Amino acid sequence: MKKVLLISFLILFFITTSARISTKKQDILKLIGTSIAPNGNFAWIEFNGENFVWTREGERIDDYVIVSVEMGKIKLKLNGRVVKLILLPENAQSVN
């Protein structure tokens, strides 16, 4: 009886402790700047703390593809889903 109780307690303990750990990957994307030039449209993006400086339309950043670059905003595509990034003014408050 004590062994069954001990085993059930240990199983319950490991289930509740492992339920708190999130394994979902969350990407952090920040738009630093955009540039429209005669030789292409470029975006400066920070992706998970790593800078991708002046990346062209159509290039990949990890799993994201830059679909379009306009002044102050870009569109990225990930698995058929479109993500829009907008450049905020300097005095805008960021959410941390």
Give the residue from 43, 39, 94, 38 showing the smallest Cα distance to 72: 43
pLDDT digits (tens, 9 = 90+) for 70-95: 998 999 998 889 989 888 877 665 55
What is the predicted pLDDT for the residue at 66? 92
CA–chain centroid gap for 59, Å, is: 16
**Confidence at residue 91, expressed as pLDDT on a 0 to 100 scale:** 67
Q: What is the pLDDT of residues 20-55, one digit of tens each?
A: 555 567 888 888 889 988 988 999 999 988 888 888
Instruction: Please give the structure tokens belonging to residue 31.
Output: 């738009």
Q: Is 20 helix (H, G, I), strand (E, B) or coil?
A: coil
Is residue 45 within 8 Å of residue 31, measured between CB atoms? yes
Q: What is the pLDDT of residue 19?
A: 47
Instruction: Assign 51 to helix, strand or coil.
Output: strand
The CATH number for 29-86, chosen from 3.30.1380, 2.30.30, 1.10.287, 2.40.160, is 2.30.30
Please name the amino acid found at residue 86: I
Q: How much is the pLDDT for 10?
A: 65
Give all strands (DSSP E) within 1-96, no chain letters. Answer: 29-37, 40-47, 50-56, 60-61, 64-70, 73-78, 81-86
Region 53-68: mean pLDDT is 90
Domain limits of the chain? 29-86
User: What pTM did the predictor assign?
Assistant: 0.63
